[in-house]
Structures are given as structure tokens and as C-alpha cells.
Amino acid sequence: MASPPFLAHEDKGPHSSLPPLVLVHGHPFDRTMWAPQIETFSAERRVVAPDLRGYGASPVVPGVTPLSRFAEDVRELLDTLGVDTFVLAGLSMGGQIAMECYDRFGDRVRGLVLADTFPAAETSAGKIARREAADRLLAEGMRGYADEVLEKMVAPYADPDVKAHVHRMMTATSPEGAAAALLGRAERPDYRALLTRVTVPALVVVGADDEFTPVSDAEAMHAALPDSELCVIPGAAHLPNLERPAEFDAALGRFLAGIGA
């Protein structure tokens, strides 16, 4: 009997002629970040949403988790599930993992969705900040960090239920898993040249009030990608898929409709 996949995951929806949708969550969240999109899009197509290594119900591996390891985990999961070609969507760190996936197995990607993310390598100051953040999470746990960044992850005016969901995901995350990802992201490559070589349709989405990855970052990615559209979602910060799910799903739905069976 085949061993179960390493990554915990959601696999929902019919195995139709439409390309499956693969959703990669950000830090420090889990696959429930995509709950509205799983519900919407699994009505007509297969949707796969993993918990990344160190997050949600997936195994925690302390140390350093580079984006290349996250990408290979996604590849291994899709191989195990028999998902050959697919539309790949990632938000924030998930968007950087999606770029790494495209670099490694882009021949399997039918469309690329990059939400609230950015492609540049980490700056020297950014590397120090990520290492300090990792040390802090290992020493203190997640709650203080979660309290501090909640109203940057989602806008201060976000729905209280959305705020509660985001806070719950952050505080449930393993400090060891989150720290390993922070240390890995500090060493990430620069994906800007890769974007200019993407041969599939792309959708760039960003919340209008996102402080972490502002609209200017999304505009630069849109300009670099040969075939892309840009969607700025008003009334949202870093998690427009949760803050404004109807608007996010409408943009994603239009994009998916352009990628045929």
C-alpha cells in the first residue's frame, strides 16, 4: 500500500476536464486560509490546498526550510495525488513558493496566480529582521507576534470573524515551523528575471491597503510578466481572499474561465 502524502491537505471537487486549482498558503497560516476559495471553486473543478511543512496539520521539521524544499513538497504531493497539470495560486510566502514551483516544474503549470507577494531577493536588513523574528518566535511563541501583526495582515476595519480566523491560524502555528520558514525565506533567490520568462497566463492580485506587499510591488510584477492581468482589491490589506472573498473569487473566476479545459 502506498504511504500517505507527507503534507496534510484538502483535495475537494470533481475530477473534471478543467485544470485543477492548487492553492499555496502564506506565513504563518494554514490551508484554512483558502476556505472561501475551496468552497467556491470545488463546485466545478478539483481544488488541492496543502498545509505546508511546519504549518497546520503537516509535520514540523525544525531548522531551516528553504523555498526549494516547500516547492519539492508541493511537487511530491501533486505526484502522489496524480495531479499532472494545474493552475497554481499562492499568496505572500505562498506566492514565492509558487514562483519557485514555476522555476522547477513550470511545464506542469497552466496558469499562475500571485497574490500579495513580491519577487525580489531579501535585502541585508531583511535577512537580519527575519533571523531576529525567527529567534523571537522560538523564544516567545506565536501569540505576541500574532497580536502585533494582525491589523497589518488584515485591515483594521476587517470583519471581526475574519480577524478571529487569521489570529487563530497564526497562534496555532508551530513556532519551530514558522521559524524554519523565516530562516529559509531570508535566503530566497531573486525571481524577477524568472517572471519575464513565464509563458502561461498570470493573474496578479493585491489588497489596496496591503502594507507588507504594496500595490507598487504588484504593478512591477504585472509589468514583468509577459501575459498578465492586475487586480487591486479595495477594502483589503494582505489577505484579500479572506477580507473580500467575493471580489477575489470574481477575479480568480474570470482568470480561470480564460484557461480552458
pLDDT in tens, 139-157: 999 999 999 999 999 999 9
How far apart, in Å, are the Cα atoms of 223 and each of 116, 182, 192?
Answer: 15, 28, 11
Any idea what DSSP says for residue 261? -
Grid cell digits, residue 122: 531579501
Give the type of residue at 235.
G
Q: What is the pTM of this model?
A: 0.98
Helix, strand, coil % in the chain, rounded to nearest 5: 50, 15, 35
pLDDT value of residue 30: 98
d(CA 49, CA 23): 5
d(CA 209, CA 179): 26
pLDDT tens profile 183-194: 999 999 999 999
pLDDT mean over 178-182: 98
pLDDT mean over 36-50: 98
pLDDT at 72 over 60: yes
Task: For residue 71, report the phi and psi dihedrals to the nearest 5 degrees.
Answer: -65, -40
- 1 confidence band (pLDDT: 50, 70, 90): low
In this prediction, what percent of the chain has a pLDDT beyond 90? 97
pLDDT at 261 over 90: no
pLDDT at 226 over 60: yes
The Cβ of residue 135 has, within 10 Å, a number of other Cβ atoms equal to: 13
- 206 confidence band (pLDDT: 50, 70, 90): very high
Given a contact cutoff of 8 angstroms between Cβ atoms, the answer to whether 113 and 253 are in contact is no
